[in-house]
Amino acid sequence: MSSTPTPHRWLRWPEDRATPRLGFGADYNPEQWPREVWAEDVRLMRAAGVNIVSVAIFSWARLQPTADSWDFAWLDEIMDLLHANGIAVDLATATASPPPWLTTAHPEILPVTATGETLWPGARQHWRPTSPVFREHALRLVRTMAERYGDHPALTAWHVSNELGCHNVYDFSDDAAGAFRDWLRERYGTLDELNHAWGTAFWSQRYSAWDQVLPPRLAASHPNPTQQLDFKRFSSDALTSYLRAERDVLRELTPDVPVTTNFMVMGETKGMNYVDWADEIDFVSNDHYVLPGAQAHDELSFSANLTGHIAGGLPWFLMEHSTSAVNWQPINVAKKPGELVRDSLTHVAHGADAVCFFQWRQSRAGAEKYHSGMVPHAGEDSEVHRTVRELGATLGALAEVAGSEQVPARAAILFDWESWWTSELDSHPNNSLRYRQEALDWYSAFLAAGVRADVVPARADFSGYDVVVAPVLHVVPGALAERLQAFVEGGGHLVTTYFSGIVDEHDHIHLGGYPGAFRDLLGIRVEEFAPLLDGETVLLDDGNEGSLWSEPITVTDPSVEVLAWYKTGEHGGRPAVTRRPVGSGSATYVSTRLGTGLEPLVRSLLDDAHVPGELPAAVRGKVELAVRGTDEHEFWFLINRTAEQVDVDGVAGDVLVGRRPGAAPEGTVVLSPRGVAVLRRPKV
Ligand code: GAL
């Protein structure tokens, strides 16, 4: 699915407040509260420095109580109240969750699982992305919203639906089957092409008519892998098409109002290929929630970094995160002191020009009543609310950062949805492989080494980087192989790992030995994979330990150096990590999963590529650096990754956030535990 990318267009702030600022606010659900509370809401919002809220996200049933009646009075009042208090509105199209009257009259809009079960109303987002009936009703609502509020002075952006695909990306209904066939016809043209791409000579799967083709519903054994992959592509595209449908109504009626929708670049949410979606909207928005564990903050930084590069390095909108605990994890822990502000500023460091939360006021009833908010159950006299106010003041001090872009790092980690989807299909050598975890482990290694790395999609221009790490780059169409080859021949240093270069875009093997598409570039050949059992490990001669995977590598190019050898295991004595010099560049291969052991390898790769750390050596690993810039300035975000105070010595710049113990502009910056400092420095 391709289209002309939408040029970047940021919030339409009301004209009387056109000065640069970072957005600060929340999802605001006033319909959950009696009117008396609304006045207190805006009083507290003003005191906290809130300047934008998202309204009406789940309001369909309230706005349209029956098929033929509407109730806008309350929303009119809220829009006016917010505007009168200087708070802009990111107005939802309100289509995220269909009202009971609609699902009762039209149960055919409800999604169906792979096992044929209907997802009934009672929660939210129970609609089929391909349902024409749902679309008709939803677009009627979008049109009505745009006609009513298009000229409202509080309206600063449109918020299409909400987290499209969060609960309904995979629908196996008959609507989906029909739309899937249309999508496949468009992709392949003929059944012969489809039969070839899906490899249907296998298991008697050959199709002789289009209506035989189905979504990969529950089958007797493993469904065809290319069918599964195409269904993932189709399901993401079906939502893209839905997004376009809402957007086109909004563009027609309110061409001056930017349109966004909130992505979920976080954790294992992988159904939506956001790289494609970014082209459809005026600016990228993301929701992120911290996933507890040893890499919690690394994962946040990784997600923010990737979001920023999906947004092309331009400002994006953090639509949701949490002030403290969420409600949907098995155990929902509160944030520790410092985390609320650090989490927010880490997103800003990676390009967010707005910091918003789910939600303004913690709910009193409903499934999310134990989810934190900016105003918790305890009220304004609470630690969370005091910290919210502190954050509002801090964002105020960073107003000049608004509009600045990300300053590229010299290293990049390539992150590719196609490889994510495909490397984790079933019937593979090791089904414990987790694509995103592998990429995150490399990112953690860069953080531990104290060197910046951009997390970039496969379509990024690699030419400005010295080092590109492409972990588990499993799907390698010819054009991508050529681009990476050109990168290396141009002096770049490429690193790739096990299970990379294995298949083409149809999930067909690149024949002749692994790692297929990269065999010549890497100067190695592997005849058979040697996956490791759960808990099984192999030692390397550099002291590292591999898990998940190993390979008996044969070196085929005499210039290849072996950086580490397997010491134990079936393939003890054979190469584990190799490097082929190519002119002034190189191609490195890591044939096992090193996890937390990647840091020394990253350090030596960076040394070989002459990529220095920008941070003082003493704080590398303790502090994350992220850099944004304008034509005149760089903004250095120094993020304390530890729960101890860290003093960063000898960093120049004017302190926008944080403190120096002395007056010297070249002196020390003190980072409180989990604290962040922001420095303005002249552009280099
Ligand atoms: C998001 C959603 C919000 C709220 C939040 C809770 O998925 O958009 O409406 O449910 O999670 O963390």
* Residue 663 confidence (pLDDT): 74
Atom 11 of ligand 1, residue of closest alpha carbon: 358
What is the band of 227 on the pLDDT scale with cuts at 50, 70, 90? very high
Indicate which atom in ligand 1 lies nearest the CA of residue 262: 8
Q: Is 163 in the pocket of ligand 1 (CB under 6 A)?
A: yes
What residues have CB less than 8 Å from 585, skipping those under 6 apart?
Answer: 487, 488, 489, 490, 491, 492, 493, 494
Per-residue pLDDT reduced to its tens digit, 465-512: 999 999 999 999 999 999 999 999 999 999 999 999 999 999 999 999
The answer to whether the bond into 515 is cis (omega within 30° of 0) is yes
CA of 57 to the centre of ligand 1 (A): 10
Q: Give CA–CA dist 605/612, Å, rounded.
A: 11
Q: Is 371 in the pocket of ligand 1 (CB under 6 A)?
A: yes
Average pLDDT score, the chain = 97
Q: Is 162 in the pocket of ligand 1 (CB under 6 A)?
A: yes
Reply yes or no on whether 545 is catalytic.
Answer: no
Residue 203's CB is within 10 A of a number of other CB atoms, namely 10
Q: Is 62 annotated as a binding residue?
A: no
What residues have CB less than 8 Å from 546, skipping those under 6 apart?
Answer: 532, 537, 538, 539, 540, 566, 576, 591, 592, 593, 594
Provide mean pLDDT across the span 328-337: 97
CA of 399 to the centre of ligand 1 (A): 27
CA of 88 to the centre of ligand 1 (A): 21
Residue 220's CB is within 10 A of a number of other CB atoms, namely 5
Per-residue pLDDT reduced to its tens digit, 257-297: 999 999 999 999 999 999 999 999 999 999 999 999 999 99
Enumerate the H helices of 222-360 as residue ranges.
Answer: 225-253, 274-277, 296-310, 339-349
Q: Is 549 in the pocket of ligand 1 (CB under 6 A)?
A: no
CA of 126 to the centre of ligand 1 (A): 15
Q: Is 137 in the pocket of ligand 1 (CB under 6 A)?
A: no
Atom 4 of ligand 1, residue of closest alpha carbon: 358
Q: Where is 469: in which H helix or E strand?
A: strand 467-470
Examine the pLDDT at 250 and tell me if it is beyond 90: yes
Among 58, 287, 359, 372, say which to mutate for ligand 1: greatest number of ligand atoms within 8 Å of CB.
287
Residue of 163, 299, 339, 599 with catalytic role: 163
CA of 612 to the centre of ligand 1 (A): 40
* Tokens describing residue 136: 């008709």
Q: Is 124 annotated as a binding residue?
A: yes
Among 320, 332, 356, say which to mutate for ligand 1: greatest number of ligand atoms within 8 Å of CB.
320
Reply yes or no on whether 268 is catalytic.
Answer: no
Q: Is 332 annotated as a binding residue?
A: no
- Asked whether 657 and 640 are in contact (CB, 8 A), the reply is no
Provide mean pLDDT across the span 426-452: 98
Provide mean pLDDT across the span 226-251: 98
Give percent above pLDDT 90 in the chain: 97
* Residue 479 confidence (pLDDT): 98
**What is the C-alpha R_g of the chain?**
26
**What b/e string do you get for 513-541 counting C-beta neighbours within 10 Å, with b at 16 or more?**
ebbbbbbebbbbbbeebbbbeeeebbbbb
* Residue 17 confidence (pLDDT): 59
Provide mean pLDDT across the span 362-383: 98
Starting at the edge strand found earlier in the chain, the sheet holding 155-159 runs 259-260, 155-159, 88-92, 52-55, 23-28, 352-357, 316-320, 285-287, 262-263
CA of 596 to the centre of ligand 1 (A): 31
Per-residue pLDDT reduced to its tens digit, 556-581: 999 999 999 999 999 999 999 999 99
DSSP 431: T
Indicate which atom in ligand 1 lies nearest the CA of residue 264: 7
- Asked whether 391 and 51 are in contact (CB, 8 A), the reply is no
Per-residue pLDDT reduced to its tens digit, 535-553: 999 999 999 999 999 999 9
Residue of 280, 299, 320, 624 with catalytic role: 320
What is the band of 348 on the pLDDT scale with cuts at 50, 70, 90? very high
217 vs 4, 16, 21, 108, 176, CA distance in Å? Answer: 33, 55, 49, 18, 11
CA of 358 to the centre of ligand 1 (A): 6
Burial of 545 (0-12, 13-18, 19+ CB in 10 A): middle
What is the band of 18 on the pLDDT scale with cuts at 50, 70, 90? low
Q: Is 287 in the pocket of ligand 1 (CB under 6 A)?
A: yes
What residues have CB less than 8 Å from 414, skipping those under 6 apart?
Answer: 456, 457, 458, 460, 468, 469, 470, 471, 473
* Tokens describing residue 471: 């972990």
* Residue 395 confidence (pLDDT): 98
Per-residue pLDDT reduced to its tens digit, 86-122: 999 999 999 999 999 999 999 999 999 999 999 999 9
Provide mean pLDDT across the span 511-527: 98
Q: Is 28 in the pocket of ligand 1 (CB under 6 A)?
A: no
* Tokens describing residue 108: 């055919």
* Residue 491 confidence (pLDDT): 98
Q: Is 166 in the pocket of ligand 1 (CB under 6 A)?
A: yes
CA of 161 to the centre of ligand 1 (A): 12
Going from the N-terminus, what domains does the chain have, and what CATH number goes with each?
23-172+215-403 (3.20.20.80), 411-609 (3.40.50.880), 619-682 (2.60.40.1180)
Indicate which atom in ligand 1 lies nearest the CA of residue 322: 12
- Asked whether 470 and 486 are in contact (CB, 8 A), the reply is no
Per-residue pLDDT reduced to its tens digit, 289-325: 999 999 999 999 999 999 999 999 999 999 999 999 9
**Hey, which bits of 79-229 come out as E strands?**
88-92, 155-159
Atom 12 of ligand 1, residue of closest alpha carbon: 326
- Asked whether 572 and 566 are in contact (CB, 8 A), the reply is yes
- Asked whether 226 and 207 are in contact (CB, 8 A), the reply is no
Tell whether pTM > 0.95. yes
Q: Is 263 in the pocket of ligand 1 (CB under 6 A)?
A: no
